Structure 1
Amino acid sequence: MESAFSLTPKQIVAELDKYIIGQKDAKKNVAIALRNRVRRMMVKSDIQKDIVPNNILMIGSTGVGKTEIARRLAKVAQAPFTKVEASKFTEVGYVGRDVESMVRDLVEQAVHLVREVKNEGVKAKAAEAVEEIILDILIPPVKGAGFRQNTVPAGEVEEPESDTELNERTRERFREKLRNGDLDDRKVEINVKASSSVGVGMIGNGMLDDASMAGLQDMISGMMPKKTKKRKLSIAEARKVLLEEEVSKLIDFDEVKEEAIKLAENNGIIFIDEIDKIASKSGKNGGGPDVSREGVQRDLLPIVEGSSVNTKYGVINTDHILFIAAGAFHVSKPSDLIPELQGRFPIRVELNSLTQEDFSRILREPKNALTKQYQALFEAEQVFLEFNDEAIEEIARLAFLINQEVENIGARRLHTVMSHLLNDFLFEVPDTIEPNSQIMVTKEMVQDRLSTLVKNRDLSQYIL
């Protein structure tokens, strides 16, 4: 995949098309939002800092692809991404998560992404250092230079060879064996860092927030003496343990934190799901639960508008984070959100309900299609699963029918149907169905295995 900075809106949509069927309007809007970030970074004048992202509100029933669009967009953008459910947040004074925690989660993701990139950059150098450590354990280097005389046939002159040279030759032979994996099972004893994390407790209602507490804990841990302990591991395992330690030595973590904050501020995406659950129902002005819902909205507002949030890695500004909110809005409407919050989501996209034809395409086309996932599971046991076209059409028809008759849970219904269809086969492999067998799923098999599922009107046990 190309760099996110080189992708045009059409190319972004093409990337999303590999995993998500339909929903062209939603894909188009998120592609524009992503490309606008690149455009903002290219603006040379002072107006750059005033260009804020157009946050998006996606409206659609469950299982139509809202979450998948946001998650895939983050992967295309190679950006830190976090998903939260608005219903998990509560107004200050109620029990629940603090709204600022979603920004802290985003920064954690950014740190992870930056650290991964840095790790790749120093891995080769770290691997060389690990090789030397293991060689030092196997063949300790000789200190000082002595000479070793060998008897040679008369008439031949031998150059005296030092112990150092012999040691180097032996080390080189062992180095070659290490690289070839010949010594991977051999046990060695290594020194590794012992965990020095310190738990900090506070009695009563402390005035420190989560970020301050985490920072205090890190500071106390840093003051504690670094301890090591001996572990006896195979060379293959020791190489992994030592590689992590050597990589961390080569990386400047202060630089990682700075880059992560910058990445989260300029490229971060926060997906707020179930935002309809905190919308106050139309026509209700009383107290009770609606007060708490509105309180959550007012707590979310400054984060979405743009504010500074304290994290254990530093202060992050949320002005240019892209917020994508989503909700089914079956009971409430977007207009039931407080006006200030509505204004922070200027782009509204209504996602279409999935048709029978969409189900058929979902089973065939995406790179991670459910049929391909099951084929991979069977192939892991050397059993080959095939679906003919009529079978796929029948699976799509039955999934669509059950959604209409019971409850519409969108594409998630396909998981129910496929599980009911193939679970017996998965149970029989490899005891009864032996390796190199082939299973062909036909229309008749689908009808036979799913007939009870369709006839039984009370499908509560199968609803995901």
Structure 2
Amino acid sequence: MSKPDQSNLALTPREVVEKLDQYIVGQSDAKRAVAIAIRNRWRRQQLDDAMKNEVAPKNILMIGPTGVGKTEIARRLARLTGAPFIKVEATKYTEVGYYGRDVESMIRELVENALGIVRDTERERVRNKAEEKVVDRLVELLAPAPIIVEGEEGDAAEQFQRTRDKLRAMLVAGELEQRTVEITTEHRQAPMMIGGMGMEQMDMDLQGMFDKIIPKTSTRRTVPVSEAREILLEQECEALLDDESLQASAIELAENLGIVFLDEIDKVIASEGKGADVSRQGVQRDLLPIVEGTTIQTKYGYI
């Protein structure tokens, strides 16, 4: 399986800073810090598995007023390296049972982001093969196999093949985009999820159960070739993808390159001279394993 484009991951810290300078003014210290962090991640990937487990990526604390470029530096860095990226606000996360959201949901969102990156990359890899299959299916729809009378197999088969070859050439040239064909589409009705904040794990388990027991429904549609081409391309790409491999690659990508930008972390710290709010204490306690490193269950596996 091909991996997302991470060619920029091997850039030196100086080169990374030069890339960031194209979009962000000032903040030299922050740019230098994240550039070194990315370089260290690249170095970590060059190690063997036994040594790699001993080298953990470091967190970076950015301090500054709103609008100075903290978020933009992280976002541009993620785009530059092809890393999954999410931004969350610490004030949205609190101790489960009070209000807010389960802090582990940020990692699940990161894995979903990584899966999207891996899926898009793999779709591009299989796109050419899928497009060939789409043309074959469109030819089948435009010229279905005829009923051949016994004794006329040779001439009928030859004429039928010539017709298909002509249609194939016209399809490739885009001359039949307005012709209509009848295709079958499949979809699964999404069940309604009822739950509050902090119930992401329950929703995840229920969704997985419903995906297994709710059958897909098929619908026949008559659409132009131009629209059918897009629908069939989606179907063929999905048929060529291996979901298990995609999920494993997404977990690996999120573990090694994932960037979580945790904003407003200062808001969950108790003010001097005031008693700590119980929900803020919950946030601090629950965030600690995430920051230091822990194992979290997602519907695609453990990360």
Q: TM-score, normalised by structure 2?
A: 0.91
Q: How many residues align?
A: 298
Instruction: Give yes or no for the alignment of 1:70 onto 2:63.
Output: no
Instruction: Evaluate the alpha carbon distance shift between residue 147 and residue 175 of structure 1 in structure 2; reply closer, same or farther with a 3 A threshold.
Output: farther
Residues 215-364 of structure 1 mapped to structure 2, 5 A cutoff: 215-284=205-274, 286=275, 290-316=277-303
Over the matched positions of the two proteins, sequence identity in percent amounts to 48
Say which SS state the counterpart of residue 231 (structure 1) adopts. Answer: strand
| In structure 1, C-alpha distance between the alignment counterparts of 2:205 and 2:237, rounded to whole Å | 23
Unaligned runs of 5+ in 1: 149-159, 317-464
Instruction: Give yes or no for the alignment of 1:179 onto 2:169.
Output: no
CA contact (8 A) 1:79 1:267 kept: yes
2:144 corresponds, among 126, 140, 146, to 140
Unaligned runs of 5+ in 2: none
Q: CA deviation at 1:200?
A: 5.9
1:192 corresponds, among 175, 185, 196, to 185
CA-based RMSD of the aligned residues comes to 2.3
Instruction: Provide Cα deviations, 1:358-385, integer angstroms capped at 9, x if missing partner.
Output: xxxxxxxxxxxxxxxxxxxxxxxxxxxx
Q: CA deviation at 1:218?
A: 2.5
| In structure 1, C-alpha distance between the alignment counterparts of 2:6 and 2:287, rounded to whole Å | 34
Instruction: Evaluate the alpha carbon distance shift between residue 92 and residue 212 of structure 1 in structure 2; reply closer, same or farther with a 3 A threshold.
Output: closer
Which residue of structure 1 lines up, in the alignment, with residue 130 of structure 2?
126
2:20 corresponds, among 6, 16, 20, to 16
Which residue of structure 2 lines up, in the alignment, with residue 389 of structure 1?
none
Which residue of structure 2 lines up, in the alignment, with residue 371 of structure 1?
none
Instruction: Evaluate the alpha carbon distance shift between residue 271 and residue 17 of structure 1 in structure 2; reply closer, same or farther with a 3 A threshold.
Output: same
CA contact (8 A) 2:180 2:222 kept: yes
| In structure 2, C-alpha distance between the alignment counterparts of 1:115 and 1:193, rounded to whole Å | 20
Q: CA deviation at 1:195?
A: 2.5
| In structure 2, C-alpha distance between the alignment counterparts of 1:145 and 1:120, rounded to whole Å | 44
Say which SS state the counterpart of residue 278 (structure 2) adopts. Answer: helix
Say which SS state the counterpart of residue 57 (structure 1) adopts. Answer: coil
Q: CA deviation at 1:46?
A: 3.0
Which residue of structure 2 lines up, in the alignment, with residue 433 of structure 1?
none
| In structure 1, C-alpha distance between the alignment counterparts of 2:43 and 2:107, rounded to whole Å | 24
Q: CA deviation at 1:201?
A: 5.8
| In structure 2, C-alpha distance between the alignment counterparts of 1:145 and 1:117, rounded to whole Å | 48
Instruction: Evaluate the alpha carbon distance shift between residue 143 and residue 79 of structure 1 in structure 2; reply closer, same or farther with a 3 A threshold.
Output: farther
Say which SS state the counterpart of residue 236 (structure 1) adopts. Answer: helix
| In structure 1, C-alpha distance between the alignment counterparts of 2:145 and 2:49, rounded to whole Å | 60
| In structure 2, C-alpha distance between the alignment counterparts of 1:102 and 1:45, rounded to whole Å | 26
Say which SS state the counterpart of residue 302 (structure 2) adopts. Answer: strand
1:84 corresponds, among 83, 88, 101, to 88
Instruction: Evaluate the alpha carbon distance shift between residue 293 and residue 220 of structure 1 in structure 2; reply closer, same or farther with a 3 A threshold.
Output: closer
CA contact (8 A) 2:180 2:224 kept: yes
Which structure is larger by alpha-carbon Rg, 1 or 2? 1
Instruction: Provide Cα deviations, 1:50-71, integer angstroms capped at 9, x if missing partner.
Output: 2112211111111110000000
Q: CA deviation at 1:7?
A: 1.1
